[in-house]
Chains A and B, each alone.
Chain A
Amino acid sequence: MHVHPYERLWIRISIVLLAVFGLAIAFSSLTLGIEIPGVERRAAPTGLPADATYHEGWVRELGPGRYEVNLVARMWGFDPAEIRLPKGSTVTFYVHSNDVIHGMKIRNTTVSMMVIPGQTGRATYTFDEPGEYLMVCHEYCGVAHHVMSGKVIIED
């Protein structure tokens, strides 16, 4: 097959670039503490009375500075809609949907996931900066999708 020398060079450059991108992705996924949702052990609520606790939103303290949030997404809001925690809290969010597919993103953090009925989404983040963090639904979930939001308020 005939390949022009310049084109050969271009293909080599592309391969090197590809290797650089690959390494950057491998490096960032292994070292920066970024969590990509996967298969979660904690089951999603089934609707049986036994796991009624998971149908509602709650925040509980696991230990000093460590919290767990059970976040329920439903048309068209989050439960709890407002989460107040002290600065420096490390929070693990377990997120469920009670109806259609939703999304959940907390602005200026690494927390973002799809919220799929029947699945449990999990993400952990340490809030070092005080302030108000906007939490939005980022998947279309019906006619009032654009009002679906919440807040995480980190107090100094």
Chain B
Amino acid sequence: MFNPNSYTLQRGEKRLVLAYIAIALAHLSVGLLLGFMQGMEHAGIDLYKYTFLRHYYQGLSMHGVFNVLIFTTFFIAGFLSFVTAYSFGRPLHSRGLSWTTFWVMTVGVVMVDWALLTNKASVLYTSYAPLKAHPAYYGGLVLVVVGTLLLLANLLLTYLGWKRENPGKPTPLLAFGALATMIMWGLASTGIAVQFVFMLLPWSLGMVDAVDPILSRTLFWFSGHPLVYFWLLPAYLSWYFLLPKQAGGKLFSESLARLSFMLFIPLSLPVGFHHQFLDPGVSTGYKAVHAFITFGVFMPSMMTAFTVLASLETGGRARGGKGWLGWIKKLPWGDPSFTAQALAMVLFALGGVSGLVNAAFTLNLVVHNTMFVPGHFHLTVGTAVALTFMAIAYWLVPYLTGKKLWGRKLAVLQSCLWFVGMSVMSRGMSWAGMAGAPRRTALGSAPYALPEWITAFNWMAVGGAVLTVSGLLFFIILGMTAWRGKREASGGVEVPVAEPLIKDEPIPAYLDRFRPWVLGATVLVLMAYGPALIGLLTAGNPAIRGFSPF
């Protein structure tokens, strides 16, 4: 049942969401500038010598951790807290727990920031042992993960409270999406929790001498791939349940939307070995199993493409669009939040295609650890996720601050520049990768760099520069909104919640109950990982002492 919600968040709740977003964006701004420096480095211009950074890899570690771990996690924590409270029409279960969560995560981030800024954790965001960082880095990341689990607990308690008072009603869509995301992540985080708490942290504290690098990697990727769906699902939530309203349309199919969120719970998890196809020491058979399950994610992704586009079409037609493609012209291209998300989806489609290449068991051999891989994920997390989060900020920040968005037209330009910059940069990256240039490498200083890579590197630098301009515009727009934005009349900013096309569509029970999906996911994980993990634990693989060569 659809309930156009009139719940307004209380001031304290708004402040909490704003605090999350502020920390997220502060890290994004630094991550963005570091990305600019990396692009320039590839074009042969060394900007590191003008900064306090010791070298390329310190900057690269910060770029990765700030953008994909801190920016995403904090934005998601704020956004999902917001949509859950808003769509249940009640504050989160415990205000104390909400703020405890925030402070646990923030203390964690301060520790991580300190370790990175002082070059004590230049191990890149994957933290592959035997590269060894300062304990503050591992400890800080543990606190961030603990924070996400506290958030999950708070959302679940809110859900149960709502259910008790509303027996038999289907979960409101926004809260449903938030719960599916966090439940999936709760299951996924077990790998990284075991790895950090029982291996990396005691090792960096000197309590154990050595760790098994292959086991550590396997646990990392157990969580590391579902982590990308943890970033992506909040963007999906916006595309499915908010964007159709912004386009003037309705959600095309409620039950398929719910089904695709549910499918991500089991399908996100047993796929981590597709990051380890080229690892010696992991059985080829299990790699193949993971390769096939990875392709299973193709189904909810294709369903999303259909439902979201069909929902936008209902908008274009409601606004008077005619013909096969004429409705596209009628979409609200002057609304920066709409335009940014529409463009994010276009690049996401290309990101999906390059993802199929990466995940293909044999083709992976050609592109593994080449520049092709960052060429892929800058389209997915760097655009589908980051540009969608920017689009959300374009209405959420006005909602939270009560101020009108400053520079609407500039904001449309900003999203177009992100689209152009990313298209150019990602093209350069994929090109260099197919020509054999390795990723995670200071290629501008590599003595072996080949002349045929140069053009591709220049594309990367130019694209990176355009992205930097776009990013700076984004921060100027939000800064001016907070500083100079005109006050909205109270209740002036509306949360764009889309109505389903078919009102009160009966929802099958299995699409509103998480338990069977969690159970299914657990069984699938035990099958896809169990024997492989037992194999790794009993193979007598040697433990290796640590190195900190940075």
Taking beta carbons and an 8 Å cutoff, which residues of A are in contact with B? 1-4, 6-7, 10-11, 14-15, 17-18, 21-22, 24-25, 28-29, 32, 34, 36-40, 44, 46, 75, 95, 99-101, 103, 105, 107-108, 110, 112-122, 134, 136-147, 149
Q: Which of B28-36, B65-73, B438-446 makes up part of the contact surface?
A: B438-446
Q: In the complex, what distance in Å separates the CA atom of A78 from the CA atom of B295?
A: 36
From DSSP, what is the main secondary structure of chain B's interface residues?
loop
B229 within 8 A of A: no
Q: Is the CB of B292 within 8 A of A22?
A: yes
In the complex with contacts A99-B130, A107-B436, A138-B438, A39-B282 CB distance below 8 A: yes
Partner of B362, one of A36, A114, A116, A146: A36
Contact, CB under 8 Å: A100 / B130: yes
* B446 with A140: CB separation less than 8 A: no
How far, in whole Å, are A114 and B440 apart by their CA atoms in the complex?
Answer: 14
Asked whether B278 lies within 8 Å of A113 as measured between CB atoms, the reply is yes
List 4 extra interface pairs beyond A2-B255, A4-B253, A100-B131, CB under 8 A.
Answer: A1-B511, A18-B295, A118-B542, A147-B445
Contacts of B299 in A (CB 8 A): 11, 14-15, 18
> What CA separation (Å) do A113 and B366 show in the bound complex?
10
Nearest-Cβ distance from residue A46 to partner chain B, whole angstroms: 7
Distance (Å) between the CB of B410 and the closest chain A CB? 37
| Given A21-B356, A138-B439, A145-B442, CB of A116 within 8 Å of CB of B369 | no
Q: Which 7 A-B pairs have the closest CB atoms?
A: A142-B549, A38-B284, A138-B438, A138-B369, A119-B281, A121-B280, A107-B436
| Closest CB in chain B relative to A137 CB, distance in Å | 7
Query: Could you tell me which B residues sit within 8 Å of A by CB distance?
Result: 55-57, 60, 122, 124, 128, 130-131, 212-214, 217, 252-253, 255-256, 259, 276-284, 287-288, 291-292, 295, 298-299, 302-303, 306-307, 310, 356, 360-363, 365-366, 368-370, 436, 438-443, 445-448, 450, 502, 505, 508, 511, 535, 539, 541-544, 547, 549-550
Given the contacts A18-B295, A100-B130, A114-B280, A119 and B541 also touching, CB distance less than 8 Å: yes
A-B contact pairs, 6 of them (CB 8 A): A39-B539, A100-B547, A112-B278, A113-B280, A140-B131, A146-B56
- In the bound complex, what is the Cα–Cα distance between A66 and B433 (angstroms)? 30
Residues in B with CB closer than 8 Å to A110 are: 365
Does the CB pair B447–A40 fall under 8 Å? no
Report the minimum CB–CB distance from A101 to chain B (whole Å): 5
Q: Which residues of B contact A136 (CB under 8 A)?
A: 436, 438, 441, 448
- How far apart are the CA atoms of A141 and B438 in the complex, in Å? 12
Contact among A10, A38, A99, A137 with B547 in the assembled complex (CB-CB below 8 Å): A99
Known: A39-B281, A101-B213, A116-B213. A7 touches B369 (CB 8 A): no
Measured between C-beta atoms, what is the minimum distance from B144 to chain A in Å? 22
Cross-chain contact B438 with A137 (CB below 8 angstroms): yes
Partner of A10, one of B302, B369, B441, B447: B302
Smallest Cβ distance from A72 to chain B, in angstroms? Answer: 14
- Bound-state Cα–Cα, A110 to B277, Å: 13
- With contacts A105-B369, A134-B448, A145-B441 taken as known, whether A114 is within 8 angstroms of B360 at the C-beta atoms is no
Q: In the bound complex, what is the Cα–Cα distance between A150 and B277 (angstroms)?
A: 23
Q: In whole Å, how far is A153's beta carbon from the nearest beta carbon of chain B?
A: 14
Establish whether residues A44 and B542, one from each chain, have CB atoms under 8 Å apart when the complex forms.
yes
Q: Which residue of B288, B295, B438, B511 contacts A21 across the interface (Cβ within 8 Å)?
A: B295
Chain A nearest CB, measured from B216 CB (Å):
10
CA distance in complex: A20, B67 (Å): 36
* Complex interface: chain B residues within 8 A of A149 (CB): 446-448
The CA-CA distance from A141 to B549 in the complex, in Å, is 8
- Residues on B with C-beta less than 8 A from A7 are 252-253, 256, 303, 306-307, 310
Q: Complex: how many Å from CA A22 to CA B436? A: 26
Contact present for B361 and A36 (CB under 8 Å): yes
For A96, give the chain B residue with the smallest CB separation: B280
B369 and A139 within 8 A (CB): yes
Chain B residues whose CB sits within 8 angstroms of the CB of A1 once the complex forms = 255-256, 259, 508, 511
CB-nearest residue of chain A to B544 = A117
What's the Cα separation between A79 and B445 when bound, in Å?
A: 22
Which of these, A44, A103, A134, A140, contacts B124 with CB under 8 Å? A140
Taking CB atoms, residues of chain B closer than 8 Å to A112 are 278, 365-366, 368-369
B298 A119 Cβ-Cβ under 8 A: no
In the complex, A136 Cα to B441 Cα: how many Å? 10
Q: How far is the CA of A115 from the CA of B542 in the complex (A)?
A: 14
- Contacting residues, chain A, for B360 (C-beta < 8 A): 21, 24-25
Which residues of A have CB within 8 Å of B549? Answer: 75, 100, 141-144
The reply to whether A116 and B446 contact each other, CB–CB distance below 8 Å, is no
What is the CB-to-nearest-CB distance from B242 to chain A, in angstroms, rounded to a whole number? 21
Contact among B60, B295, B303, B362 with A29 in the assembled complex (CB-CB below 8 Å): B362
CB closest chain-A residue, reference B444: A146
CB-based contact A28/B448 at 8 Å: no
State whether A37 and B292 are in contact (beta carbons under 8 Å apart), knowing that A100-B549, A142-B131 are contacts in the complex.
no
Q: Is the CB of B443 within 8 A of A4?
A: no
- Which residues on A sit within 8 Å (CB–CB) of B212? 118
B353 → chain A, closest Cβ, in Å? 11
Chain B residue with the shortest CB-CB distance to A111:
B365
Given A25-B362, A110-B365 in contact, is the A139-B440 Cβ separation under 8 Å? yes
Tell me whether B362 and A28 are in contact (CB under 8 A).
Answer: yes
User: Which residues on the B side are within 8 Å of A121 (C-beta)?
Assistant: 280
When the two chains form their complex, are residues B253 and A34 in contact, meaning their CB atoms are under 8 A apart? no
Q: Which residue of A lies closest to B212 (CB)?
A: A118
| Chain B residues within 8 Å of A3, by CB | 253, 255-256
